[in-house]
Structure 1
Amino acid sequence: MRDTNTMDTGKMAAGHIGAITLVRHGEPNLSRRVKFDWRGYEAWWAKYDQAGLLAGQTPPPLLHDFARDARYIYSSTLRRSIETARAVCGERAFESLDMLIEAPLPPPHFPSFIKLSPNSWGWGFMARVWWWYFNVHQGLESRDQAKKRARAAAEFLMERAREGGDVLVLAHGFFNLMISIELKKMGYIKALEQGFKYWGCRRYEVRTRS
């Protein structure tokens, strides 16, 4: 873990509340061109959480700009998030936090003859629907627990932004979305939206009175 408080760079101004940018990691080095039952998906997801990034990727230039201007930079503690932060930040320091890891994706226990791919419209979709709408968490972090974690993460990031500099988070697609929901409740407005694609970001700024 590396302390970002000693950075000399970044936007810092008295009375300024920084922007918060939430970035999804780059593409992991694990194929989605497979199909299996729910047990196979659990095994695949365990490998996904251990996987680094697919070689040969280049972060969008905009992310380098955000890293240059940020006072605080954070990743989750998962490998794909850390490698994304390294690719974007270069020699800049960043801190890895457990509170930023992805929300779990426990698959529903369908009959074993049902075989799906792990992509967004296969097990990934089914697991997220069952977890979010039916709160089926198979003993992992529940939806309500993840919501509390997202709220705590949003409060933490907002406190850093209130210190007068931009904040950059290089983490995970769905949990970033959960944080963004909390940021909007706190008065932030969306300044940039790139969806759930790899390297995609959401940027939030404080709503100002006209």
Structure 2
Amino acid sequence: MSVDSIGFTQSLDIKELKQYYRQQPKEACVELYEDSSKKVNQIVLVRHGQPDLSRKGWFNRKEAAAFVHAYDSVGIVPFKVNPICNEGLQHPMIFCSSIERAVNTSKLIFEEKYDIVTDARFREFERKVMHFWNIKMPLGVWLSVSRGLWILGLNDKGIETKRKAKLRSKGNADFLIAQTEASQQVILVAHGFHNRYVMKYLKKQGWKTVRKGGSHYGAVNILAQ
């Protein structure tokens, strides 16, 4: 088989994958495409479920900081529909962030049917509440402005900088690609910002998005090559 024909076959496989996922009902769990005869690898990126923590009301700075701490230590609200169909997966390689909301998510999805590797390298980009007057504001204001200042390099003292976080996510993308040499199907349960940058670096290396799941809690995005 020529190089051109190999590339053409892989291109067809990517198109098949896109069509396969496009046809699945949105209200059901995602049934992962598995066919050992296909020369296509998949990396499945799952965002954790909704943390079991109320965001209602107005918060002063201390209360907002306490929320951030709690957000990193609570489990999630049980899914009404499992993000991924967990029956009959063929030897998937599954990783998850070490933060509790991701650990809890992976346990709820896979129900101890498969081995899961928990690793702090997949944690969310670090954050802290900005130093500001200790006034009452909606929680979303505290979190959004704090993250925005972090992105600008104005709120990263004592925590991971944006540059270091991006380098970590790039390294994680390379790590996940390397794992596809052992398994055609690699699954990661992690976080919104982290997964967004991993997707970015995967695309730079030629991986194609075959399922766009968005960025909501429990979102499933799949890339293939």
Q: TM-score range by the shorter chain?
A: 0.7 to 0.9
Unaligned residue ranges in structure 2 (runs of 5+): 1-32
> Quick one: which of 3, 19, 27 aligns to 2:50?
27
Query: Offset at 1:31?
Result: 0.4
Between the two proteins, what is the percent identity of the paired residues?
23
> Quick one: which of 83, 87, 90 aligns to 2:108?
87
> Quick one: which of 215, 220, 224 aligns to 1:196?
215
Query: Offset at 1:151?
Result: 0.9
SS in structure 1 of the partner of residue 211 of structure 2: strand
- RMSD between superposed Cα atoms in Å: 2.4
Structure-2 residue corresponding to 1:96: 118
Once superposed, which parts of structure 1, at least 4 consecutive aligned residues long, lie more than 6 Å away? Answer: none
Q: Closer, same or farther in 2 for the Cα pair 1:67/1:59, shift >3 Å?
A: farther
Query: Offset at 1:70?
Result: 5.8
Name the structure, 1 or 2, with higher relative contact order (CA <8 Å, separation 6+): 1
Structure-2 residue corresponding to 1:187: 206
Structure-1 residue corresponding to 2:191: 172
Structure-1 residue corresponding to 2:150: 131
SS in structure 1 of the partner of residue 180 of structure 2: helix
- TM (normalized to structure 2)? 0.77
Contact 2:47 2:216 in 1 (8 A): yes
Equivalences, count: 192
SS in structure 2 of the partner of residue 63 of structure 1: coil
> Quick one: which of 169, 178, 203 aligns to 1:150?
169
Asked if residue 106 in structure 1 is aligned to residue 128 in structure 2, the reply is yes
In structure 2, what is the Cα distance between the partners aligned to 1:171 and 1:94?
12
In structure 2, what is the Cα distance between the partners aligned to 1:32 and 1:197?
16
> Quick one: which of 34, 47, 69 aligns to 1:46?
69
In structure 1, what is the Cα distance between the partners aligned to 2:69 and 2:202?
30
Give deviations 1:79-114, integer Å, cap 9, x for gaps: 111111111112211110111111112222222225
SS in structure 2 of the partner of residue 50 of structure 1: coil
- TM (normalized to structure 1)? 0.82
Larger radius of gyration: 2
In structure 2, what is the Cα distance between the partners aligned to 1:184 and 1:135?
29
